[in-house]
Chain A
Amino acid sequence: MSPQQLNMAAVGFRNWARALSKGKQPGFSALFSQVRAASGPSKGMLPGPYPQTPEERAAAAKKYNMRVEDYEPIPDNGEGYGDYPQLPDRSQHERDPWYSWDHPDLRRNWGEPIHWDFDMFIRNRVDTSPSPVAWHTMCKHLFGFVGFMLLMFYLGEKFPSYQPVAPKQYPYSNLHLERGEDPEKQPEEVKHFNI
């Protein structure tokens, strides 16, 4: 976590402890007091509810450092986005690597509005940049090769093909003495070949 996030967490924790120790509401409801420390940003600078009027839209655009025409809040479907702007779903991989960003590893400038899923789009994670070869070509090549290999191996299992083999033939009358049989007894003649 960055230092300012730790600061924020510390402020929140201190606030919570203070509310518990001398809050007007007793017990559990003291945890949900609407009191916030004055050291952080003012209420107007934090995200708020979905903007209903054009004035609210303009104010929200100004708050997020965007042009009024560019500012488009995430559609309000009850999922809790509020007035947060809908930015293009582009990963940080796609940003210019040679421009002098304020934060080069994140490829982001200070104060720039952050995408809701920014932590997904960092350069260690999801990459939306264009692929060097067209998608349909990649799919065709991969599935074509894998499918072909699977088919061939299946056919190889179904129709095996190998050098012709026969049972092993042993000399000395089928190793009569080595197999421990009676040396006096005459072994039976086994013919392995026809000339």
Chain B
Amino acid sequence: MADYREAPLATRPKTLDPAEYFNLSLDQRRAEEERAGLRAQLKRQYQMQLNNPHRKELIEDPALTRWVYARTNPYNHFRATKKTSLLGGLFGVVPLFVLYYVLKTDRDKKEEQIKAGTYDRKFKLAY
């Protein structure tokens, strides 16, 4: 396990992270304890609501509300930068013109062939 090399797109498991073994500074420990404290607070809130016998409604998760709101309202914070304009143009404007050009030339070629009588209809069902 000493020569473990993680895959390029995957992550190293936390149990094989050398920082966990050697980095035992007080700051790290304090940080972990603070995180555990926040987690415990949230757990407590959830359990209080879950086990409340008078509760009739569903438990609302504000983190979920925030996530949904953030995902559905990106245009409030949208700015037209070089990258966003490029992406917008690439996905929204260029396909229109490219598709028009490709389909038009293809159909025109087929029309010419039909007019000249050289069009080969494969899979024709009726004569």
List chain A positions with a Cβ less than 8 A from chain B: 2-5, 8, 40-41, 45-47, 49-50, 63-67, 69-70, 77-82, 84, 90, 94, 102, 109-114, 116, 118, 128-131, 134-136, 138
Contact = CB atoms under 8 A, between A and B. Distances in A.
Contact of B38 (A5, A66, A84, A110): A66
B52 interface: no
Contact of A4 (B6, B65, B81): B65
Interface stretch (B39-47, B95-103, B108-116): B39-47
Chain B: interface residue count, which band? 35 or more
Given A46-B69, A130-B7, A110 B42 contact: yes
Q: What DSSP secondary structure best describes chain B's contact surface?
A: helix
Contacts of B60: 4
Nearest to A78: B79
A140 to B, nearest CB: 13
A80 B38 contact: no
Contacts of B11: 90, 94, 128-130
Contact of B58 (A3, A49, A131): A3
A111 B35 contact: no
Interface of B: 5-13, 31, 34-35, 38-39, 42-43, 45-46, 58-71, 73-81, 83-84
A47 B35 contact: no
Contact of A129 (B10, B38, B39): B10
B63 A113 contact: yes
Given A4-B58, A90-B11, A110-B45, A46 B77 contact: no
Query: In the complex, which of the residues A5, A47, A70, A136 has the most CB atoms of chain B within 10 Å of its own CB atom?
Result: A47
A128 B69 contact: no
